[in-house]
Structure 1
Amino acid sequence: MAKAPQRHRARWRHEVASFGYAIQGIREALLSEPHLRFHALATAVVVALGAWLHVSRHDWALLALAVGAVWAAELMNTAIETIIDLVSPDFHPLAGRAKDVAAGAVLLMALAAGVVGLLVFGPPLWDKAVALNGHP
């Protein structure tokens, strides 16, 4: 009977540790990947702009999904590039193709996130610009 709670605790510790590994992976990627640092800066700008414009909860949800998708795509791209560098340290056309496709996925997601940003921030920024120019 005592084995079940011990197994449960061991599993729980393993699950908690896996979060630590995930956070470590994000940290390592931030330290080694300039594009991810750019995404971190862009995330800070999105959060600051959203706070300044007092966007709705719905808009925050859209922004969070867009930002999270870009981060996830960039992290997957980094993982793919790392694996390719491990298994194919010399140039190979298929390795290059895989890297290009993974980078293309990041670009596509970043463009989609940009569209979300324009749709969410465009109207309130336009309203502020019009108000600054003295128009009703």
Structure 2
Amino acid sequence: MTAPAPSSATPAVGDALPGLTVSITRAQLVRYAGASGDFNPIHWNSRTAVAVGLPDVIAHGMLTMAQAGRIVTDWVGDPTRVVSFEVRFTRPVVVPDDDTGARLDLTAVVGAVDTGAGTARIDITAKFDGQTVLGKARAVVRLS
């Protein structure tokens, strides 16, 4: 069952949020590096990434996290309703040097509802190439 928008009804544990697929491209990595100040060459230079044991250039962890958070902010409609958001980085997102980029598939379910506090915990799954790239990814949102 799809979770109702948090302003319309109280969601139930197990309700699924609408899925989301995003692409992370090399151009986004360059823009993110400029915005964040993180110019580590593993995020833009294939030679450096491979030299340190990576398969190729990888996305910034915080960019991957932000993209994953979109499934929650799209659902709540107001990002100020996100009380907390946490993840553990488990695998890198390898970004190819093409126009398509890396496909990040996002799903989420309501993991818990606290009616007394007026909050819900959203459990997020982020997959790249069929493998989970974020562990214990979850957000707590205000329901109204």
TM-score (structure 1 length as normaliser): 0.30
In proportion to residue count, which structure has more strand?
2
In proportion to residue count, which structure has more helix?
1
Structure with greater Cα Rg: 1
TM-score (structure 2 length as normaliser): 0.28
